[in-house]
Amino acid sequence: MGHQLHTEIHIEAAPGVVWSVLTDLERYADWNPFIVSSSGRVEVGERLTNRLQPSGGRAVTFRPVVTAVEAERTFEWLGRLGLPRLFDGRHRFELTATPEGGTRVVHGERFRGLLVPLMRRSLDTTTLAGFEAMNAALKARCEHVASSAS
């Protein structure tokens, strides 16, 4: 049983700027309306502590493992609810430089497990809205940082 969420946004800032904001976990509370706090090291095999605050929902803390890091390109983690294959989420950010000097950010998550069909409606509404709110906030933060540096 699987399901995937996919979002994209164009940010008028270089990949290095986007990467620095996205991987500065300690500052998530300053700008991120969806993952309102995060801690840990952005290194493969490390465990993060993320606190999600879905709009209109109950806050939840989870501890995913970082599964991919490629500076200025890819940041990914795998979170699980209980046992493997019950409800697993592989959350991924992909950054691509654009010819204009900006960054295309693909932000999504692939869900697998027995509980996915039961959670699908919430994933397609609340979770997707959280991703989109995070994208908009990331864009605003990065573009502010980029314009302040010029």
| Domain of residue 12, CATH code | 3.30.530.20
Output the pLDDT for position 84: 86
143 versus 150: the higher-pLDDT residue is: 143
pLDDT of residue 149: 82
pLDDT over 90 (residue 38): yes
pLDDT digits (tens, 9 = 90+) for 112-148: 999 999 999 999 999 999 999 999 999 999 999 999 9
Rounded to an integer, the average pLDDT of 12-27 is 98
- pLDDT (0 to 100) of residue 82: 85
Q: Domain tally for the chain?
A: 1
Residue spans of beta strands (DSSP E) within the chain: 2-11, 35-39, 49-52, 60-62, 65-70, 74-80, 88-97, 103-112
Query: Measuring CA to CA, which residue among 80, 79, 36 is closest to residue 55?
Result: 36
pLDDT of residue 55: 84
Structural domain including 114 reads: 2-149
pLDDT digits 0-9 by tens, 54-95: 888 889 999 999 999 999 999 999 999 988 899 999 999 999
**Do the Cβ atoms of 8 and 128 come closer than 8 Å?**
no
Flag whether pLDDT at 1 surpasses 90.
no
